[in-house]
Amino acid sequence: MIPLSVIVPCFNEEKMIGDCLASVRFAGEILVVDSFSTDRTVEIARRHTERVEQHEYVNSAVQKNWAIPQAKYPWVLIVDADERVTPELAREIETILGNPRYDGYWIRRRNFFLGKEIRHGSWRSDKVLRLFRRDAGRYQDKHVHAEIELDGQTGRCQEVLTHYSYRTLDDFLRKAGRYSTWGALNAQDKGLRGCGWRVFGHSAGHFLKGYLFQGGFLDGTPGLIIAFMEAGGAFLKYAKLWEMQRNPPSPAEPKGPKGDSEQVSG
């Protein structure tokens, strides 16, 4: 065991949580933060760790920022339920923590979609800042796609996280509504206006960038599906932004949807 706290936020991840937690057994502490799952997630998690906490979900950033101070050790690694720490990455982390040169480390992700590894398109350079000093990092105050804001210098791990994103198309469709709403709220917080050219321009731009300019076509049919998914996500985001500003919600209505831990890229 190494002096590291691994934090795993989750919600209804009974199919994924076991393998995720098995991949982080090298850590001195595994802290699972569950958003009151209704399946067997908590039962399975307790087979792997004694620290299973439950906390009401507002959004991914709030959930993780609540969890970080609960960690026992001064270094934290955050892993989503659909990710796996490879043995090579575990050994590299052990080496890093023996004599850390930085306050946080970026980790590349090796992404799989519908059972196929994705090597091109917008996912080809996917990286996340997940390993950091507990007292030096907090997530941005954003509804979705928040990143760590680190008080210090960052380095880069050579090894990778494996990421099993969207096991089925239904998995994507279930999440698309929530994340597009949160994305629209982020855009509104920045003062952006919803309009037709943003709806069209961002949709077309996402498709062309990922599929043509970044070589998504080299991943075959999965690459084509991802390009359309990202274009559709952009369409929903800016269409909802337009709708919000045309028909603002009443004060009694909730500001945004609740849901599972954030596990999308984009």
- pTM of structure: 0.87
Q: Which residues contact 228 (CB under 8 A, 6 or more apart)?
A: 207
Q: pLDDT at position 247, please?
A: 83
**Residue range 182-193: average pLDDT?**
91
**CATH 3.90.550.10, the chain: domain bounds:** 2-165
pLDDT value for 139: 96
The confidence score (pLDDT) of residue 38 equals: 97
pLDDT of 254: 46
| Chain position carrying tokens 């880069």 | 156
Phi-psi region of 98 (alpha: psi -120 to 50; beta: other; left: phi over 0): alpha
**What value does the mean pLDDT of the chain take?**
91
* Weakest mean pLDDT among 3-7, 150-154, 249-253, 261-265: 261-265
Task: Give the residue among 169, 157, 19, 14 at the shortest CA–CA distance from 95.
Answer: 157
Mean pLDDT of 170-182: 87
CB contact set of 130 (below 8 Å; sequence gap of 6+): 77, 78, 79, 105, 107, 148, 161
Which of 127 and 260 is assigned the larger pLDDT?
Answer: 127
Check pLDDT > 50 for residue 50: yes
pLDDT at 144: 85
Mean pLDDT of 83-92: 98
Percent of the chain residues topping a pLDDT of 90: 81
Q: What is the DSSP letter of 249?
A: P
Among all chains, which residue has been given the structure tokens 């800042």? 129
Q: What is the pLDDT of residues 214-259, one digit of tens each?
A: 999 999 999 999 999 999 999 999 999 999 998 876 655 444 444 4
Strand partners, 117: 112
Give the confidence band of 166 by pLDDT, cuts at 50, 70, 90.
confident
3-state DSSP call for residue 108?
strand
Please say whether the beta carbons of 30 and 6 come within 8 A.
yes
Residue 52 has pLDDT above 60, yes or no: yes
- The pLDDT, as a whole number, for residue 173 is 86
- For the domain made up of 2-165, the CATH class stated in words is alpha beta
- Distance of alpha carbon 206 from alpha carbon 168, whole angstroms: 21
**Is pLDDT of 92 > 50?**
yes
Give residue 89's pLDDT.
98
pLDDT of residue 249: 66
Helix (H, G, I), strand (E, B) or coil at 110: strand
